[in-house]
Amino acid sequence: MNEWKKHWATRTVPNDVWEDLELWLHTLSIYSETRLCPVTTPLEINWVGDASKSFGIGILVGPRLCQLRLKECWQEGSPNCTIAWLETVAIRIGVKSRDHLLNQEWKAIQALLIESELDITTERVVLADNMADGLLRGVQRPHVMENRSQRLSISLFVVRIYALPSKADIHILSGWKPLTLIGYNSAVAKFNTFMKSEKATPFTLPLSIAMVEGFCVWAGRNDITLNEGKNSSISRKKYLAGLKAWHTYHSAIFPDENKPRIDLLLKVSARRDESATKTGKKLPVMLWHMAWLWKSLVLGSNLDRAVLDVAVVAFWGLARLAELTYTVEGGKINFADSVLTSDVVFATSKNLGDVVTLTVRNAKTAKPGKPQLIRLCAQNHELCPLLSSKVFLRIFWAGVDRAHLTRHQTATRIEEVLTSGGFHGIKGHSFRVGGASLRSTLGMTQGDLCALGRWRLDSFKLYIRPYLTGDLKKTKILLQQFKQNWLRMA
């Protein structure tokens, strides 16, 4: 108190005082010239609410129920959320306290009461009479599902309503591939970040035209907004596709009336993208990368040899690693998108000699329900794809103690081995890029290249990387050495 000796000295107003003053100013500006007259005879509506830290919140209004489950991170932050705050959220009634989070709830409560011209009287009950006790512990009985409320008129940023998807919802989700759904979820998360930055939550579907245009401006590079999270126009096109799928799933109509304006917004931002730092294209797997993989993995464990065989087939067959691997390590596999032993067929052709044919299901470039074929010929060196297929089937499909080779395992092991050899930046998709670039450089026609890579029209051009003169010379020397070594080994 000694600092107040100078009564006219200026002092900084605390932030919480400013918040309270702004709240009261807002309240007084919207408050109508009326007063709440309490009803002399209380009206019992059988409202019961309670909360637990183990599950969440349970609320009953007569037969109607609302069961809310907490997010896993609900106690994160500073200061930590307490059970007192959680019960405050459940009952939305209380008095001024020193808990900052509680005070935020009281402000929201007061705004609701004034807007609705309501008053609430609370009453404590014993545990035996608490009809919401089961709900807050995750138990719904004896309440019936038909009485469950799926929508709230208020937004609680720590709780979430879990509505079970219908059979139609689940069937619709199965129409999209897992990676596609991940991309769509990223689009929704990006849009939610935009809405939070605009303090426009909560919101409902369908989105308005202004929301979509605002999102395009917020996420794109321009001279108007300076927020973080800017991305390219190509990414925003994918985000818009995700938002459209979001509307489709929830039976809402995406606003397409302003498509010309959206296209123009993307076009303007695309010009700015040209001056921004671009992400480099995927590096191709070169023949010396394959030689290093063979040298490092051929005498390794069963996992190493399996990874090597998959890498060889992916390189020469222009295949994606996901097409040759599985989604899970153990248990039952999905026959609709897995390569089975019966899908690998060996034959002899008059023109091509020994040939192996792999049937790939649910490929990214395939039509729904239409399998694709990868045909590979025998080659006279250690990186022969036909030999790798035979070794893989003979060794790794024998016996009962087997494990499914996943894409994550394969890509991780390949990256580890290449990094140990000083080769950085090689990813799983680099095999398709490297194989296509090598065959194109060695003179394969566009028609044969599209047939092998299962491309349409000019899509293969996105995967072609030009060979420098030194790289081409080094590749031809390696191929010659491979063949000479193979003759000596034979």
The CATH number covering residue 350 comes to 1.10.443.10
Q: Is the separation of the CB atoms in 313 and 388 below 8 Å? A: yes
71 in any annotated domain: yes
Q: Please state, in angstroms and rounded to a whole number, the distance separating the CA atoms of residues 298 and 382.
A: 10
Q: 160, 183, 207: which is the final residue of a domain?
A: 160
| Number of C-beta neighbours around residue 35 at 10 A | 6
Residues of the chain with confidence (pLDDT) below 70: 1-9, 30-45, 74-79, 91-103, 106, 114-122, 127-128, 133-141, 143-164, 275-280, 368-369, 391-402, 489-490
Residue 297's domain comprises 287-489
Q: 275, 304, 324: which is the final residue of a domain?
A: 275
Please state at what angle helix 209-219 crosses helix 178-197, rounded to 10 degrees. Answer: 90
388 in any annotated domain: yes
127 in any annotated domain: yes
Report pLDDT for 62: 72
Alpha helices for 121-202 (secondary structure H): 133-136, 167-173, 178-197
| Number of C-beta neighbours around residue 234 at 10 A | 11
Same domain, 372 and 263: no
pLDDT digits (tens, 9 = 90+) for 51-94: 887 778 787 777 777 777 777 776 666 667 777 777 777 765 33
Residue tagged 């400013």 (tokens): 18
5 in any annotated domain: no
* Closest to 184 in 3D by CA, of 254, 232, 240: 240
DSSP 422-464: T--S--TTHHHHHHHHHHHHTT--HHHHHHHHT--TTGGGGG-
Same domain, 323 and 466: yes
Please give the structure tokens belonging to residue 434.
């490297």
User: Which DSSP letter does residue 74 get?
Assistant: T
> Could you tell me the pTM of the whole model?
0.53
Residue tagged 């609410």 (tokens): 49
Please give the structure tokens belonging to residue 122.
């609370």
138 in any annotated domain: yes
The CA–CA distances, whole Å, from 357 to 80, 345, 350, 378 equal 60, 5, 15, 11
Same domain, 407 and 306: yes
What one-letter code names the amino acid at 305? R
470 in any annotated domain: yes
Q: Is the separation of the CB atoms in 482 and 381 below 8 Å? A: yes
Strand order in the sheet with 64-70: 47-51, 56-61, 64-70, 159-160
Same domain, 53 and 125: yes
Same domain, 312 and 351: yes
* Closest to 318 in 3D by CA, of 440, 148, 194: 440
Same domain, 318 and 461: yes
Report pLDDT for 1: 38
Report pLDDT for 397: 52
Report pLDDT for 448: 82
Same domain, 90 and 65: yes
Report pLDDT for 280: 65
Beta strands in 211-333 (DSSP E): none
Same domain, 98 and 64: yes
18 in any annotated domain: no
- Beta-bridge partners for 360: 372
Same domain, 137 and 176: no
Q: Please state, in angstroms and rounded to a whole number, the distance separating the CA atoms of residues 373 and 357.
A: 7
Same domain, 182 and 145: no
Same domain, 173 and 241: yes
Torsion sign, CA atoms 430, 435, 438, 443: negative
Number of domains in the chain: 3
Report pLDDT for 138: 65
Same domain, 94 and 188: no
185 in any annotated domain: yes
Report pLDDT for 162: 43
Q: Please state, in angstroms and rounded to a whole number, the distance separating the CA atoms of residues 447 and 457.
A: 9
Q: 115, 132, 160: which is the final residue of a domain?
A: 160
